[in-house]
Structure 1
Amino acid sequence: MTRQDARPGIRGIDHIGITVPDMDEAVAFFTGVLGGEAVLSFGPFADDTGSFMTDHLGVDARAVIERITLIRCGNGSNIELFQYSAPDQSTPRFRNSDIGAQHIAFYVDDIAAMKAHLDAEGIRTFAGPLPIGEGPAAGQSILYFLAPWGLQLEAISYPQGMAYEAGGGARLWSPKDAI
């Protein structure tokens, strides 16, 4: 029995949920800049008198999900965008070093072309692309960038694989293998 077989039917990541401040801006970014496809949009959802929102989602009972939009991202996981309004809503700006911070990495075939595209779109990028030349991740190049509202994202590419793969054994799942 493999490690995967020991789990109760988990096959992979279906989607990543992100709460955004402006749905139209987020959809335009994920479709227009990153090339995703908006497949499904619905809402609003609220429970004006009960505790559905707290019981099922762990948010304020008077929170409203204004809209949900699901974006297909190439051959990888989908992204589910939420636009909420809630009495206790906060707007933290996490850095990668902060506990609870996260980022989404998109595999790209040509990371230099992605950098040029992001620059042309006016998207803030950090230094890079950075080619990794040593260690188990050697062979990959990375580029961090920000969505207009501050969400941290990464472009990653390893067209010839990564150094750790030469040792055999378990390999990470890769969207380049799904092509």
Structure 2
Amino acid sequence: MATRGIDHIGVTVPDLDTATAFFVSALDAEVLYDTLRREDGPNGGEDTERRLGVPEGALQVAIRMLALPNGPGIELFEFAGPRQQAPAVPSDLGWQHLACYVDDLDSAIARAEEAGAASVGPPRPLPGPEAGARNRFAYLRTPWGSTLELLTYPDPQPYERDTRRRRWRP
């Protein structure tokens, strides 16, 4: 049995509806379904704590699955309870950013900013093995502070000279 690829990415957000609106507006995401509707929750207790490895008292308030136009889904979780910390930044341990391939980086940045994201800095050339005349990326912060990378690499990349394997892109 071989791994086929990423099915979805889970993101804990402070407000499910606000995060949904951001991903719909910024990345053309669509709501697929609610696994846990706010009016049916919250889920908590010993079973939830053991199943998810969350601290005692953590409550799942709402869960929603989004679909991007291409690629994996985004599963949004809203929790209440102890020990909620600020979102990870790239220097923290663990999963630390979501990267989305776009055709027009400047338009995608503008759209994300209109949806409430804040650019960390201007777009930059992709480095080293990813370099190419039009290959660029930019980091942004979502309205709740998570890191979003937007990137494009329409030109051949130097690593392609050394291997037949190519990175996946939509």
Contact 1:95 1:101 in 2 (8 A): no
Q: Which has the larger radius of gyration?
A: 1
Query: TM-score when scaled to structure 2?
Result: 0.86
Q: What is the match of residue 43 of structure 2?
A: 46
Q: List structure 1 runs of 4+ shifted beyond 6 angstroms.
A: none
Q: Which moved more, 1:144-153 or 1:26-35?
A: 26-35
Bigger relative contact order, structure 1 or 2, given CA contacts below 8 A and separation 6+?
Answer: 2
Q: Aligned partners of 2:10, 2:24: CA distance in 1, in Å? A: 16
Partner of 1:34: 27
1:56: how far off? 1.0
1:14 & 1:167 partners in 2: Cα distance? Answer: 29
Partner in structure 2 of residue 138 of structure 1: 131
Q: Quote the residue 2:122 is aligned against.
A: 128
Which digits, 9 at most, give the CA deviation of each residue in 1:130-150, with x for residues without a partner?
123x52111221011111010
Identity of aligned residues (%): 37
What is the DSSP-based 3-state SS (H/G/I as helix, E as strand, rest coil) of the residue aligned with 2:155? coil
Spell out, residue by residue over 1:36-73, the C-alpha distance to the aligned partner (whole angstroms, 9 max, x if none): 1111113225245xx21122111134422111111101
Structure 2: tracts of 5 or more residues without a match: none
| CA-CA distance at 1:14 after TM superposition | 0.4
Written as runs of structure 1 = structure 2, the 5 A alignment for 1:62-101 is 62-86=57-81, 88-100=82-94
Q: In the TM superposition, what is the alpha-carbon distance from 1:161 to its structure 2 partner?
A: 3.3
Match of 2:55 among 60, 72, 84: 60
Give the direction of change, closer, same or farther, for the CA distance of 1:45–1:142 in structure 2 (3 Å limit). Answer: same
Flag the 1:119–1:101 CA change in 2: closer, same or farther, 3 A: same
- CA distance in structure 1 between the partners assigned to 2:91 and 2:68 by the alignment: 26
- Tell me the residue number matched to 2:10: 17
Q: Report the alpha carbon displacement of residue 107 of structure 1 after superposing the two structures with TM.
A: 0.3
Cα separation, 1, equivalents of 2:163 and 2:88: 36
Per the alignment, residue 155 of structure 2 pairs with 160
Please tell me the residue identity of whatever aligns with 1:53: T
Number of aligned residues: 164
Q: Distance in 2 between the 1:122 and 1:21 partners?
A: 14
Is 1:116 matched with 2:110?
A: yes
Task: Give the TM-score taking structure 1 as reference length.
Answer: 0.82
